[in-house]
Amino acid sequence: MTAIITAAELASESAGPRRPVLLDVRWRLGGPPGRPEYEAGHLPDAVYVDLDTELAGPPGAGGRHPLPDVAAFGAVMRRAGVSQDTQVVVYDGGQGWAAARAWWLLRWTGHADVRVLDGGLAGWPGPLSTRTPTPAAGDFDPVPGSLPLLDADGAAALARDGLLLDARAAERYRGDVEPIDRIGGHIPGAVSAPTTENVAENGSFLAPGTLASRFAGLGATDDTQEIGVYCGSGVSGAHQVLALEIAGYRGALYAGSWSEWSADETRPVAKGPDPQ
């Protein structure tokens, strides 16, 4: 099953007999909050899910956006109407990072039918709604493990022996600037692969073949190679995992990412354009 859906396809499915559950996860690093945007207009029947409080645990040892408590995440999804057998479509304002985080969490916890609205809300052709829906509770029971997950040691091992992609902007990878975390730079051996280069100007993903060529140029060899991804806090990294899936590769997410790695002063840090 494809991991993304176009606005036209969603409009058609929403008018059919098996309407997907819609999750609005609008969020931007540094704000403003997505809830007021949701209340001002969202896809009809979409339920708002907050990335900072419902798609992540409290900041701490696991980074700025550690994985949420699995039971709490399941409760959020059931409250939004998600069941084991429902189709789920997640969207954000267009950047795709927050939607990919929700996609990854649902897939990681065993939901088989979840897609991201390609290009986000901006491409929706129909009217928006200001009504907050109250869907019937779903029965989704999250069981982690359906997608590969890395910890810091696993990311370090992949940087040495496999392919570890750094999804942040190139200037943060090089360590030229670091606006958020303790120190700039990258995990030694990681390859710079800004997630912004996976999409067109409108935020829609590039064609699968184009993405496959991009990842091959970064060192991906075949669909059996182990590939890891990290970013600042496990949000844009999920977008990179989604891009890899579209391209035919399987990516493992280092959820703690640079915010966890850089907080540990015993972990090595590389700077500059060279992976090492």
Rg, C-alpha atoms of the chain: 18
Determine the Cα–Cα distance for residues 121 and 34; give it in Å rounded to an integer: 13
Catalytic machinery residues: 231
